[in-house]
Structure 1
Amino acid sequence: MEVIHLIAVYAAPTVSRRSGLWGQLKRVIENIAEPVLIGGDFNTILRLDERSGGNGRLSPDSLAFGEWINELALVDMGLRGSTFTWRRGKYTRNFVARRLDRVLCSAQTRLEPERRGNPKRRPFRFEAAWLKHEGFKDLLSASWNREMRTPEALALLKVKLKKWNKEVFGDLKQRKEKLMNDIKGIQEELERNPTDALLGREAALQKEFDVVLEQEEEYKLLPYEYNCSK
């Protein structure tokens, strides 16, 4: 079985407090023979295009960071979404953005691609989030056939619930993906031309996205159980 070492980093926000960190990490990694993944908040950039604004020069700390990566032959695994992983300021006059977070790996590290199951084969599940929808109880009451045996009534109800979930309630995953795409588009615009309007729109979308994440966490899919008698 292949062993992969994971190193999590949170570098101090000031240069003086993280002094010597690159040397310490170098000694740790050089003593590891197996593949290494190292990631987290390094609190410094690597290139000029990883920040919004600035004086057109890299700091000595950023240069040392780049030298550390080169000496260890580490590979930047890239990122999805916005170029910047940290930002501050709601208006253009105080807006600051940087790419401070990243994941690096040793050259010999090989990761298997994620294997996803067929979503069409996912068994039917009752979503607790349905209970929060104002029309769900009426739908449930109107859809239950008391003249049928329970197994047949449940099978019919399942068909109606799947249709209602798709057409009325909406798919949580689709809502999440749409918000992610909208936020990504806004952030790309911000990187090219930051405006107060775009920053406001991004904040609103992020707030809506947080609600979806809360729903996703709170309303886990539960096994479908419904007890009903004639």
Structure 2
Amino acid sequence: MEFYDSRCFALWGDNKAGWVHSEGENGVEGVLSMWHKEAFEYSSHVKGRGFLAVTGVHTKLNCLCIVVDVYVACSLSDKAVMWEALSNIRRVNQNEVWCCCGDFNAVRSIEEMKGVRGFSSQKREIKEYNEFSDKNVLVELPIVGKKFTWYKSDGSAKSRLDKFLVSLEWLQMWPMSKQYVQPREVSDHCVVVAKSWVKDWGPRPFKTIDAWLSKFGFMDLVKGKWNNYEVQGNRMSKLKDKLKFLKGDLKE
């Protein structure tokens, strides 16, 4: 399918979408990556067999991100080519925030498939898939909803082919990230959405453990530390800073 601005704007819902398209091989494995221009500042992209990697800056957090959309063929040789290509890109971009997502057409364990024949022939594929994620320090987001993302038309077989693999840097930016499997509708694949819910509960409370109060010398320790803190500012500012310092000393 040919893509152009008006078609992508219609898919997105407004004209603030940026996009890049990879046609794949002979119309197969095509990938379309889209982003909101006010949230993501595009800088470059790399097209490869079975993937499309887009680099840019997350404008709100001002961090450099690489988002890789994956749609690879079933053959192990094609997957091996993709894993090697992504590993090479990862090797020279280790500090960026990484997210690999899409249809990997592979599972990482026997628990991710049911009713699928020929598991013994997939042992090598599972091993290489896990080696790819381990070598590049990519972890799968916790899953919410359905356990499987692909279903055979008659329901006799199902697998977890679609997922989000992210770097530790991603988890530092969005520690509450999860992947949500949506109901299956037109496709034999379920849509999978990654979200990070952050609830602002206000200032964090200062906490203690009751058992500390019964420990010999605890109150003397607190009083001694508290009286030795040198802080500046008004009363509330001093109280806040002293609690902060005391928290660190209690942990120690």
Higher relative contact order (CA 8 A, sep 6+): 1
Determine which structure has the larger helix proportion and give its number.
1
Query: Shared fold by TM > 0.5?
Result: no
TM-score, length basis structure 2? 0.41
**Higher-strand-fraction structure:** 2
